[in-house]
Structure 1
Amino acid sequence: MNVPPSSRGPVLIVGGGLVGASLAIALDTAGVEALLVETAAPRADAQPSYDERNLALARATVNGLEAIGVWKHACERATAIEHIHVSRAGEFGSVRLDAQEARVDALGWTLPARELGAALLRRLDECTLLRRLAPATLEAVEPLPQGWRARVRTAEGVQAIDTPLLVGADGTESFVRAQLGIAADVHDYGQTLFVCTVTPERAHGHRAFERFGDEGPVALLPLAERRCGLVLTMPTGQAHAVAAMDDGDYLALAQRRFGWRLGRLTRPGRRFPYAIRRVAAARLTAPRAVLVGNAAQTIHPIGAQGFNLGLRDALTLAELVARAADPGDGRLLDAYAARREPDREGTMAMSHGLVRLACLAQPALAPLRSLALLACDRLSPLKDVLLRRGMGFRGTPPQAVLERAP
């Protein structure tokens, strides 16, 4: 596709991952022209399998996906989370969150990442104002008086694309962020995440578990067909040895870390390791440019807030752009940054604080941690805050996620 330069042009989204694709769909839904630059050509032919990464989608996220027409393509493969149990190994406190207490049918849902990707592709195919370049790579950007000129390499050669608003949705190592000269604060947690699928002896009952320990957090997420997604965090120094374990030794490790609440864990799928870092952009905007999703902030996976936070970025930006005559206006971008700050800072502080405190190997903290968990479980005002924030309602959420809010 040849995109001629123009004095105005579409909103240019660089990065066709989960957040970038969601933003493109949200803008199309709002009647805003956009162009999506995707590194890889889209594929919708991948079939579900036992081995696949799984996402925990907050209630607000599913509301938002429903509002932009994506959820109808994914809901059949989703599994409701009706209960959440939070505890720490060897300590007496715990928190139990229940959908009935929040007066909703589910606190969130789990969904294979492959299924969400396929749903986004199907919804992208329905868009009427959106144009897509794939496979394509952004090579450089240069400022214009009223926007940016992007040089994008495709199979047909390099194209010049003018845009009034450049959006970096290109992940943790964002090229757009670097081109804009926005610094990023990087924190290495010294941890590696292992993700796989297991089958527990007892039915999960739509319960999700988060269990902390000296070595890091472990989570078990409910999936279809009585399966669970196992998320196991290890110190990076032990990652090589864990990766080399046979299935029996790995299950023994997971059982020791998680416990026996669902009985024996069996049938481990293929393990996928991920090094864990926090990467936070020093600012979210530049003149006529903005960062969303992992390009803006990549957070610790504890609590599974990464995509949920990124989608709220995308939906907030789409909401503001839909109301504006000029999508790159400085006042609009200032409003975006102000709207996102409480949610962004609060979510990053929550995930970072949990890792630093709940997983800290400090026996003197044990009674205080247990009392804090008991207080959150027994005191209704604290529990209500946990429930709403866990469901993704923090700060000033985008209107799209509030349509089905309690």
Structure 2
Amino acid sequence: MSTTTELSETTLLRFATAGSVDDGKSTLVGRLLHDSKSVLTDQLEAVERASASRGQEGPDLALLTDGLRAEREQGITIDVAYRYFATAKRRFILADTPGHVQYTRNMVTGASTAELTVILIDARNGVVEQTRRHAALAALLRVPHVVLAVNKMDLVDYQESVFAAIAEEFTAYALELGVPEVTAIPISALAGDNVVEPSANMDWYGGPTVLEHLETVPVIHDLSHCHARLPVQFVIRPQTAEHPDYRGYAGQIAAGSFRVGESVTVLPSGRSSKISGIDLLGEPVSIAWTTQSVTVLLEDDIDISRGDLIVPSKDAPPTTQDIEATVCHVADAPLTVGHRVLLKHGTRTVKAIVKDIPSRLTLDDLSLHPHPGQLVANDIGRVKVRTAEPLPVDSYSDSRRTGSFILIDPNDGTTLTAGMVGESFASPEPVKDASEDDGWDF
């Protein structure tokens, strides 16, 4: 069997790394790539040259992921670095995220699609505020699996008691946040202990190495039994002589599956029809499922445009103009009550107003600071948003795709906030009239 065929039959794991600055995330990633023989010869040679120019005796494996010149000059990761590699058992998409507090928002990008997050801790420092912040984000983003990698065990003489104390403290905190599973592994990324190969220096540890766990952790990609959702990206009307009446609705299936003959409803209009055909890569199919990009044809001529959502008629989500969500604020400018924004949900973008900011999460003790009035960069809090048009939203716990949204600055297109829908209000508070008519009153 060819290597290509073998890889096509292995599962894919998307995972992200996170941790405080200098905890060794990039070194861990570099060690994974190097020891699993996933680094090309020319890449390794380039790293060796760069390391030598900095006066280092051996190759600095962190340079395999610190790809920007500014990162190399500062010796820190400042952007999300994506890497793709594979072993005989599994393929991987890895996101190496920054450790500085001001780059916490970058973790939202890296972990939003991850099925596993590796959170690193420096064994000398233990659990710090940034560790708690990353654990909270992993919980909010509903990442199914969390690995606690207690790094730099070589600098604490490989003491089991140090590892056990850190693992106990972090696990208790993570479980309180609602993280479903924590696997703690003691490692030394620099020396290679328990990264790919088991460590001879920690014979008291009998668990898997980092790579062994990544290769064997259960990954569920089959979302065919979830709520079926198809956000419409394009309306296709080729108007050819062969197909003069062709009208198809194209997009990537966000969750679930669709079948020819199935009754569907288009939201937010609420109009219904039946699927008369499904085209996949230009060929008709009888069924299509999650992540496939398809074109759906309907029996009835319905007014459908980009931003609409096609769902099974028997499983249509409610539409609402009032959304309450937990958010991570990612912009430098603060988000304030009364802020006029654009809300992008799936392929639809609508005007919206921030009606309230009920609370901000204090990560030290998980307490809530009530009505802070604003959220600043990297804050995690709750917001209530009123949209100009009704939106069909799911709970984020039901769907990470159709239960999420972003808030955008309408003036310059800057992404302000990443949101995860928690609760829709059936009886919204009356909307107060604005002091001036600027087209945002709804």
Same fold (TM over 0.5): no
Flag the structure with higher strand content.
Answer: 2
| Higher CA-based Rg | 2
Flag the structure with higher helix content.
Answer: 1
TM range (shorter): under 0.3
